[in-house]
Amino acid sequence: MTKELKQAALDYHALPAPGKIGIAITKPCESQLDLSLAYTPGVAEPVRAIAADKESAYKYTIKGNLVAVVTDGTAVLGLGNVGALAGKPVMEGKAVLFKRFANIDVFDIEVDSETPEQFIETVERIASTFGGINLEDIAAPHCFEIEKRLVEKLDIPVFHDDQHGTAIIIAAGLMNALELQGKAIETAKIVCLGAGAAGIASMRLLISLGAQRENLRLIDRQGVIRSARSGLNEYKQAFAIETDDVTLEDAMNNADVFIGVSGPNLVSKEMLASMADNPTVFALSNPDPEISPELAHSVRSDLIMATGRSDYPNQVNNVLGFPFIFRGALDVRARMINEEMKVAAVKALCALAHEPVPDEVLKAYQVEAMSFGADYIIPKPMDARLMDYVASAVAQAAVESGVAALPYPDHYPPAL
């Protein structure tokens, strides 16, 4: 980033008022009567109603449309453990995306905690304020335990976007890429470089979609996670397989798919050349991919490629998922976001990419044409149809899987 762009970023966050979000008043507040209804004595009536029936909070407060975006600052972007407070600009940014794309209100919460137990206790104690919890930028392996225990403790959706949001977009893009490449997920050899939150969650979701565990190669800094290794934590151990592959180079030989959620320039042209015919490469390290698209396309003319960057085709961008996943979950008052809802989101994104692209999307991206193919395997974030496709699919899955307190909403498109 240039010096000028760095200053522009600082100015954007500082001017004309510090930060990116604020609080809006949603009711009239112009007269003495308004004030008496908003606060004392009128406010006592919803207080009494909620004390008598806690479900009334969804009727009389913002709870049902309010999500907490919560971090401990241990894994902020690619900057690492910068601390809770330094993570606040990112959490405010997440709030902007929730509001812009799904009209969901957000409080960002930065927790100074020394242990997962402290973090879990903090979130548990404040959870009644919210309709859902979005965990963000929490380092692995603690993120797995934190999410698991909060899901068990709370009766509202808890969703770690760095795990499941990333996994859902990867899976949607990959299913479409495999279709175009004439391959099936059930038989594809899939290599994933990076065994943190995104890598492990992606492999779990791909298994739910039909991938075979013996065809997966999950790789960390010590190489392929295999049965012969010792000292693996429980999350990596679940992907330890019997294989002679030890290094990334070994794993890439005859692989159909490479997914990188690791670091820049870790895949060589020789590794790419050793992959199977018609490979799919998701090099998602940001801002510098595991292999640059320019180098990749110079080596293989038969590949489909995605990155995490907006200046290349097929950007794997979590904003395609989390706002609409929470929208669907909140609208049926789901008590969790389960595997059925995640798979539904994947299938909805896959389906939308097959549809003709509206003119307003073409204008937003300043292109004359865009259609399902090697350079368009996942929808664009500015596509307004994401709400109809993803939110409705998630809501329907919540209802059908028995985790929703409300029926499928009347204002949604007809359920499939």
Based on the domain organization, do 172 and 296 belong to the same domain?
yes
Give the global pTM: 0.94
Q: What is the pLDDT of residue 2?
A: 86
Give the pLDDT band of residue 306 (cuts 50, 70, 90): very high
User: What range defines the domain where residue 351 resides?
Assistant: 318-400
Name the residue with tokens 């200046």. 311
Read off the tokens for 170: 């990867």
Based on the domain organization, do 40 and 60 belong to the same domain?
yes
| 287 or 354: which leads in pLDDT | 354
Q: Which of 164, 182, 205 is the last residue of a domain?
A: 164
Based on the domain organization, do 156 and 173 belong to the same domain?
no
271 lies in some domain: yes
Long-range contacts of 312-315 (CB under 8 A, 24+ apart): 313/374, 313/375, 313/376, 314/173, 314/375, 314/376, 314/377, 314/378, 315/378
Q: What is the pLDDT of residue 77?
A: 84
Based on the domain organization, do 23 and 156 belong to the same domain?
yes
Residue 276 above 80 pLDDT? yes
Directed axis angle between helix 339-353 and helix 322-331, to 10°? 120
In three-state secondary structure terms, 219 is: strand
407 lies in some domain: no
Q: What is the pLDDT of residue 231?
A: 87
Q: Say which range, 91-100, 182-191, 229-238, has the weakest mean pLDDT.
A: 229-238
CA distance 77 to 62: 30
270 lies in some domain: yes
8 lies in some domain: no
Based on the domain organization, do 68 and 173 belong to the same domain?
no
Read off the tokens for 173: 């893009």
Based on the domain organization, do 113 and 207 belong to the same domain?
no
Where residue 232 sits, what CATH number does that domain have? Answer: 3.40.50.720
Based on the domain organization, do 152 and 175 belong to the same domain?
no
Based on the domain organization, do 134 and 118 belong to the same domain?
yes
Q: What is the pLDDT of residues 72-99, one digit of tens each?
A: 999 998 788 999 999 999 999 999 999 9
Where residue 123 sits, what CATH number does that domain have? Answer: 3.40.50.10380
Kindly state the average pLDDT of the residues 94-115. Answer: 96
Based on the domain organization, do 364 and 379 belong to the same domain?
yes
Phi, psi of 158 (to 5 degrees): -120, 125
228 lies in some domain: yes
Q: Which of 164, 199, 226 is the last residue of a domain?
A: 164
Helix (H) or strand (E) holding 299, with range, is: helix 293-299
The DSSP line for 144-204 is: HHHHHHHHHH-SS-EEETTTHHHHHHHHHHHHHHHHHTT--TTT--EEEE--SHHHHHHHH
Name the residue with tokens 């009347």. 410
Q: Which of 105, 136, 164 is the last residue of a domain?
A: 164
Based on the domain organization, do 151 and 249 belong to the same domain?
no
Helix (H) or strand (E) holding 206, with range, is: helix 197-208
Based on the domain organization, do 352 and 364 belong to the same domain?
yes
Contact 138/162 with Cβ under 8 angstroms? yes
Sign of the Cα torsion 14, 20, 25, 26 reads positive
10 lies in some domain: no
Give Cβ neighbours of residue 344 (< 8 Å, ≥ 6 apart): 393, 394, 396, 397
Give the pLDDT band of residue 415 (cuts 50, 70, 90): confident
Q: What is the pLDDT of residue 267?
A: 96
How many distinct structural domains can be found in the chain? 3
CA distance 359 to 369: 9
Q: In what order do the strands lie in the sheet with 105-110?
A: 105-110, 66-71, 132-135, 158-160
Residue 210 above 90 pLDDT? yes
2 lies in some domain: no
203 lies in some domain: yes
CA distance 100 to 386: 13
Q: Active-site positions?
A: 39, 94
Based on the domain organization, do 25 and 159 belong to the same domain?
yes
